[in-house]
Chains A and B, each alone.
Chain A
Amino acid sequence: MAFINMKNKEVQAKIVYYGPGRCGKTTNLEYIYQQFRERIPTEMVSIKTHGDRTLFFDFVPFDVGKIKGYSVRMQLYTVPGQVKYDATRRLVLKGVDAVVFVADSLSVQREQNLISLKNLQDNLALHKKDIYQIPLIIQYNKRDLEDQGIPVMSLEMMENDLNGKLKAPAIPASAVKGDNVVMTLKKIISMTLVSFQKGF
């Protein structure tokens, strides 16, 4: 949960990028890290396997700047997507303020998206958080593959599958190319701040 430091006038909040394995969560953070190097005072932290898969999480502290006299810092995390790392996903979700669900547009990943979204719902519930209440964005990633003739799902199909009930803001994107990565980030930050104003 967000922490407000009244003394230093600082707000810290935690945004977690969630989604199935190889959907592009880490790529999102890497793009942000490259683009906003000057807003990120430190090296990006990645705990990976030897095969370059996320083992625990990636971490980027993102300095949003001053809002209403408060300097706002968003702590961006990814979770490991592979099914077997559920325990570590739950750990990373601890104290989460907002979630970007990164869905994989590849047709073959349809089932994995559904499993991961259900898993997100369950794990949020373990932290007493409601997937319908928490600030959430669905990002339909890898849209660039369509141009290369690789079978991807239509946006309508993905909306039906994943967002029929949730009705969360959804953004098509390509993390590899950087399309809409920053848009996703902006949107989730503004939703997080709005949720603070509502006081949850």
Chain B
Amino acid sequence: MAPHHDKSISLMEYALGQDQLEKIERMLLSDLVSSGVHCVLLIDFAGNIIAKGDNGVTRIDAYSLAALSAANFGAVEAMAKIVGQEEFALLFHKGETESLYFSKVNDELLIITVFGKNLSLGLLRMKVGDVIQKIRQIWPKDHPAG
């Protein structure tokens, strides 16, 4: 690296504290993964992964999923505006064995859940809704990220 990188990176203002992150990741595990969600990603709208939880079995390319999800969410939101909607309430893709559910946390964050046939979407939505409420409490209101 070039010499001018030697100063320590002072990025506190874009960062989320370790405590907050741990709290969020613990919650993703206890509230979602333990209920049968295979993998859950908390991402920002730039496609960065903020927090992640998985069952240790399902292997997915989280970085690509995050990049595609952020873009896809943006695209769907733009489609909603074209038909005069602020947003669509339900973003869900059903696969034969794995399904995807996207949910907006706030203006900066998005939750992606990967789940199988054993979990009903209705229950998942209720659980994700609850997790979103909790993340909103933890996430700083005027956080500059995203």
Interface residues of A (CB under 8 A from B): 1-7, 11-12, 14, 41-43, 45, 47, 56-57, 59, 61, 67-68, 70, 73, 75, 77, 87-88, 91-92, 94-96, 190, 193-194, 196-197, 199
Q: A11-B11, A95-B46, A95-B47 are contacts. A87–B78 as well, Cβ < 8 Å?
A: yes
Q: Tell me the nearest residue of chain B to A13, going by C-beta.
A: B48
Q: Please state if B64 and A42 are interface contacts (CB–CB under 8 Å).
A: yes
Interface residues of B (CB under 8 A from A): 1-2, 4-5, 7-11, 13-18, 21-22, 25, 44-50, 61, 63-64, 67-68, 70-71, 74-75, 78, 144-146
A45 close to B46 (CB less than 8 A): no
| SS of A interface (majority) | mixed
Report 30 cross-chain contacts, Cβ distance below 8 Å, ordered by A residue: A1-B46, A2-B14, A3-B46, A4-B16, A5-B16, A5-B21, A6-B15, A14-B46, A42-B64, A45-B68, A57-B67, A59-B68, A61-B63, A67-B9, A68-B5, A68-B9, A77-B67, A88-B71, A94-B70, A95-B44, A95-B47, A95-B48, A95-B70, A95-B146, A190-B1, A193-B1, A196-B9, A197-B5, A197-B9, A197-B10
Residues of B near A4 (CB, < 8 A) are: 9, 11, 14-16
Q: B residues within 8 A CB of A7?
A: 18, 21-22, 25
Q: Are B48 and A59 in contact (CB under 8 A)?
A: no
Q: Give the chain B neighbours of A91 by CB distance below 8 A.
A: 71, 74-75, 78
